[in-house]
Structure 1
């Protein structure tokens, strides 16, 4: 399988959410910032790599409202999300430099027809270039930056005069004492907005259906729609049977990414319950821990997610410590361990904290964690979509949880729908066969993990079916639920891990839950600067993570066998 370093995964996809890093050395080169890798990056995972279209839009913004030699911009879909970035930035830079950071807002031009099916504002934090590493943290952790499709739309609208600077937007963040270029006046070239929309989207994509697409997606996430159906039929579904009794799509909130769903869940709890520290339970996806550490009063981190950790938490609670909420994954990434949610729920009820569970790895068709959580979050970018060409996130409220009324009130007051119309249409289309895909992937993954488990070349297979926490996973499993499509594998030496990764003929890059099998040296990518820290929680830096796709079982078995043969060759040569 020929893979182009730095090319989109899947290939020939303009808005791909993964990028090809086909060798172990390429992954290390990426983390080290080596030119031979970085200069070939056509794209990347959107929270870590700013898409070239968005980079071009940011340059155009600065050209109009700032100094391109000294300044840059980071782009958000709303003033609220831009203010979060601006506030974070000025809290990290010298006080006498704060005035140089400002928010510039762009809105649809007055000539844009009222009631158009698709419009977009654009909120930009403009700031000195030397602070880019600070704003990048917000882009990565909060997951609220604009999507590449929105960027494409806004760039065209800006160039064609349908998106203009909001001159009436004058706040403390937007007023700058530093010299600014006066904005150039761009006039429309005579086309009307309807023509502009038609040329941008053509007849292939009915963005007027975006709100209906969002409704169908929310029904699927609530569990009231589990059939593989087209949009019209999805909208007619009125089943009251969902993940828990009484749930509806009104308990589901869409976000531009899974991490943004987590970020907003945390923000909501801070608003609901006050300035309390959080608990991060189990070895987490890296940005979850960063959110809890960088916003609010910090967190207690239990990286093993063990019963001993729960004993320690219980002793803290008995001693009078109080917490905002406990954030965990079921199962965790990359060791696929399942937390003891039933014991956690008892502690939460007794001592008064919320529970936020990230179900991305398992998905709600395999296990049902909602009855034990206050909020369940998920990255819809992954298996819910499958096509690796659109980002999305969801948050689901448990209507029976202890804080439901207050959490729901804050969500309804504070939530803003910044999920881009075009992205919603793609996500709805991609998710129509979600149920069938999950079933097939479950079966295939059990077959492949069994094969690897039997091989003496393999040191360890991490999969819920083989985990010491399997009883905890099984207690959450739906009647027809499986063990999911993600597993991790380790070998007896670094050289053997490299041979396996370099040889296996599947697509290689970050992300998971794709319709095609995808491999990544996950720990290298997620924790390159903290490998010893990861090792302290029994996370092997040489671990290879596999996300199984829709290929035929026999073909995948052959693919994995060839990779194992390469491991055997390394072992023999080093004997």
Structure 2
């Protein structure tokens, strides 16, 4: 067999390689993932930069030290950097934090007492709501004060056009007016802004509950817990009968339903027309995380009141910028109160917008290639004898639901998840694709989803029983299909079938 296009990437290398603003990191062996989850000293020496909401960027560490020295902050306090003063107000209010010294910087700073449980709570909350400081802002600041000799070279659009380019692109893609679109510093901050706005509205109308439909991304569920006193979770999105029965009694108390279309990582799609009818009947706002659907794979306009999208993923395609968007559907009455959602958002740093403006030009073309590759990869997996289960957008169990929403017959979302009939660790370790967190990249990117997202559940008997209950396999490989030659992608999977 000819040499593969793909080569091993050392543990700790940024993904994309040699990019200081990368949001992923190489974890080429399953033991690397386990060590990372268990925070062993050896792995922490290798992994110095990763997904910015989970590991502090090296530039932010340098900047925090600089701020500590500049303002002569006592060692009794930890300097925590945030995206803005608005973020400082949110975090300070929640945790009753009041800086004892005046700090005047073009970003947010709070001082949290060391040696208390509060510090970890604050850091976790920032992770959940996505108020992270931009690595590009930190880079510019450190360069200006002489702590960096140079800056990462990358292609950026002009400042004067970048913001308008991103907004106009999203408006065109989602077929919405530009005034209905708001950028945020991360995808999770978009979710936060939407749910925080709904919380404010519910306080006025007396609706105090939210329904979470499906097993959603971890931080989405955490935001729900932070901002809704009561919430109801329905893990099986294929059983709307029980949702309807619940609404018959409780519909008047429900403010919103939030779901992913399709879900991450099992690519399940709810019967959206039926769900929308239930929302209309009980006057419930429908929030859809459309990151997997993208505006090019599925037509969600007849259904969503609010879309959220992590622009870090397919819209960027390069895993080197954190950004999100809240998009209010002009067909919904909710769009008339846009400021209730947008007022909680931070404006992303201008250089991040410039980078995304450059990348988003190829969004539609990128998705066309990824969709076509995904379809062919699924066809290949169906013919192999070493794949056990395939989770994809047209899985027979959910196919009719997905097909109702497809823009065309090739609009496969770019994610496939699989389990194997053979040793998971051996297969994961042998594959030479990029392996690490995140998705939506132009390069194929693998992630042992349950190990990275829910390691705490894997390591307890009760947790493993819960994973079985919700149908999430422990040894699940999530594949974010890239734009490479599909024959090369298939050839790389062929390498492991003899294990």
TM-score normalised to the size of structure 1? 0.79
**Other-structure match for 1:106:** 104
What secondary structure sits across from 2:182 in the alignment? strand
> Which runs of at least 4 in structure 1 moved beyond 6 Å after TM superposition?
199-207
Match of residue 151 from structure 1: 138
Alpha-carbon displacement from aligned partner over 1:413-447 (angstroms, at most 9, x marks no partner): x1554211000011011111111111111111111
Q: Tell me the CA shift for residue 103 of structure 1.
A: 8.0
Partner residue, 1:543? 476
Q: Is the 8 A contact 2:372 2:410 kept in 1?
A: no
Residue by residue over 1:147-186, the C-alpha shift from the partner in whole angstroms, topping out at 9 and shown as x without a partner, is: 11112223345x369xxxxxxxxxxxxxxxxxxxxxxxxx
Alignment-derived partner of residue 534 in structure 1: 467
> 2-side partners of 1:52 and 1:399: how far apart?
41
Matches within 5 A, 1:117-128: 121-128=106-113
Distance 2:153 2:416 in 1: 40
Contact conserved, 2:196 with 2:341, CA < 8 A, in 1? Answer: no
Q: How many positions carry a matched residue from both structures?
A: 481
Q: Is the 8 A contact 1:103 1:123 kept in 2?
A: no
Answering whether residue 395 of structure 2 is matched by residue 446 of structure 1, we say no
CA distance in 2, matches of 1:290, 1:151: 27
Of the candidates 241, 245, 258, which is equivalent to residue 311 of structure 1?
241
Contact 2:8 2:28 in 1 (8 A): no
Q: Does 1:469 align with 2:398?
A: yes
1:482 pairs with 398, 411, 436, which one? 411
The reply to whether residue 520 of structure 1 matches residue 453 of structure 2 is: no
Correspondences of 1:395-474 after superposition (within 5 Å) = 395-406=326-337, 408-411=338-341, 414-474=343-403
Give 2:25's match in structure 1, choosing from 10, 15, 19.
19
What corresponds to 1:572 in structure 2? none
Q: Distance in 2 between matches of 1:83 and 1:42?
A: 29
Please state if 1:222 is matched with 2:132: no
Shift of 1:248: 1.4
Structure 2 CA distance, aligned partners of 1:334 and 1:420? 30
Cα contact 1:383–1:514 (8 A) shared by 2 = yes
Which aligned pairs between 1:334-345 and structure 2 lie closer than 5 A? 334-345=265-276
Alpha-carbon distance in structure 2 between the residues aligned to 1:489 and 1:463: 9
State the structure with more CA Rg. 1
| TM-score, length of structure 2 as denominator length | 0.91
Q: Report which structure shows greater RCO (CA 8 Å, sep ≥6).
A: 2
Residue correspondence of structure 1 range 248-267 to structure 2 within 5 A: 248-267=177-196
Give the Cα–Cα distance (whole angstroms) in 1 for the partners of residues 94 and 29 of structure 2.
36
SS at match of 1:377: strand
User: 1 CA distance for matches of 2:10 and 2:74?
Assistant: 32
Is the 2:71–2:103 contact (alpha carbons within 8 Å) kept by the matching residues of 1?
Answer: no
Which runs of no fewer than 5 residues in structure 1 stay unpaired? Answer: 91-97, 108-120, 162-195, 225-241, 567-575
Matches within 5 A, 1:280-291: 280-291=212-223
Note the aligned Cα RMSD (angstroms): 2.3
